[in-house]
Amino acid sequence: GAVVSQHPSRVICKSGTSVKIECRSLDFQATTMFWYRQFPKQSLMLMATSNEGSKATYEQGVEKDKFLINHASLTLSTLTVTSAHPEDSSFYICSATVGNSPLHFGNGTRLTVT
């Protein structure tokens, strides 16, 4: 149980385009989803917290207009990287939880912007 599916696993896009990443909880309804970013050989940095039906809460230093997060249902959250640039290349990973329970992670998306 507690499976989180994230797509795509890899994406290469040209500078200036937008990329959407999906995160789905397959067998549970996630009250909260988190988006993290990880640069090579570094830890995971929390980007934002999203709750179904409300606006995401972004961490300090994360541009909300660049990283659009939508949590339209209890099983789906999306992260859109708008007008991507090479410095946005990174590993993005989502997680989901319900209530006071453990975090469950998707397998991550490796974004390369050329």
Partner 1 sequence: GIQVEQSPPDLILQEGANSTLRCNFSDSVNNLQWFHQNPWGQLINLFYIPSGTKQNGRLSATTVATERYSLLYISSSQTTDSGVYFCAVEATGTYKYIFGTGTRLKVLA
| DSSP letters spanning 31-68 | SEEEEEEE-TTS-EEEEEEEETTSPPEEPTT--TTTEE
Within 64-93, which residues bind partner 1 (CB under 8 A)?
A: 91, 93
Nearer to partner 1 by Cβ, of 75 and 95: the residue is: 95
Q: Is 45 in the site for partner 1 (CB under 8 A)?
A: yes
49 binds partner 1 (CB under 8 A): yes
- Residue 62 touching partner 1 (CB under 8 A): no
21 neighbors 10 (Cβ within 8 angstroms): no
- Of 13, 22, 28, 46, the one binding partner 1 (CB under 8 A) is 46
Taking the complex as a whole, the smallest distance from the CB of residue 114 to partner 1 amounts, in Å, to 20
Contact 75, 33 (CB under 8 A): no
Rounded Cα distance between 41 and 60, Å, is: 22
Q: How far is the CB of 107 from partner 1 (least distance, A)?
A: 5
Cα–Cα distance for residue pair 61/7, rounded to 1 Å? 25
Site pattern 10..29 for partner 1 (x: CB under 8 A): --------------------
